[in-house]
Amino acid sequence: MGCFALLAVARAANNFVPVKLPHGVQVELPRNWKILSSNQRITIDSRVQTSNERVGIFDYSSDLNYGANYYDDSGKTAGSMNIRYYPDSQISLAEARTAEQSDVRELDRALRESIVKASRANGLSVLAWNGTSKKVINGITVFVTKYKRSPINNNGNFKVRLVRVFDLNKSFTLTVSYREDQEYLLRPICDRIISSLRI
């Protein structure tokens, strides 16, 4: 087999495709995850805004820029990924790099309070809070928050990871989650999505 044929086989075997997002952000997603249309994103964001406004926690400057879901064979959401930008953020990449453990604890406290409040407003519960940790992914300092939430529309509990990048007006959160009963299948895929993050 010639080298061009080998290259074609290697490309055909790659089940992940790069997704280029604003501000130079890139991740890789499995080919079978379905991209949410602009209309779907606006509907989801409008629902979140409506619920969160009632408890005074909606960030009007944020932008739900991209989302994709994995659907199981019965058509139910089993995996989800989205990215939300925060153009009003005042924390830089350099400040994120030098964040101390006390800063991470403060971020974790604020996120937990906000997520618990938002979950209640949306009729959900945070079932387990696994906290926030500072990590480096492809040279980028990130803050990864893990928690488990109750079902939406009786679709099972979801394990959620928020990957927060502080970069002033280019700051964003990559959210990746999967249904708990699909953990064996989807946890490594979600790990791969997160590890593909580049800016």
Mean pLDDT score, 36-44: 66
pLDDT recorded at residue 9: 47
pLDDT at residue 22 above 60? Answer: yes
- For residue 82, the surrounding DSSP H or E stretch is strand 77-85
Mean pLDDT score, 63-92: 92
Instruction: Compute the radius of gyration of the chain from its Cα atoms.
Output: 18
pLDDT at residue 175 above 60? Answer: yes
pLDDT recorded at residue 95: 97
Give the chain's domains with CATH numbers: 18-195 (3.40.1000.10)
Q: How many CB atoms lie within 10 A of CB 92?
A: 14
pLDDT recorded at residue 192: 97
Mean pLDDT score, 192-198: 97
Q: How far is CA 132 from CA 105, 109, 113, 180, 196, in A?
A: 7, 9, 13, 20, 20
Q: How confident is the model at residue 63 (pLDDT cuts 50, 70, 90)?
A: confident
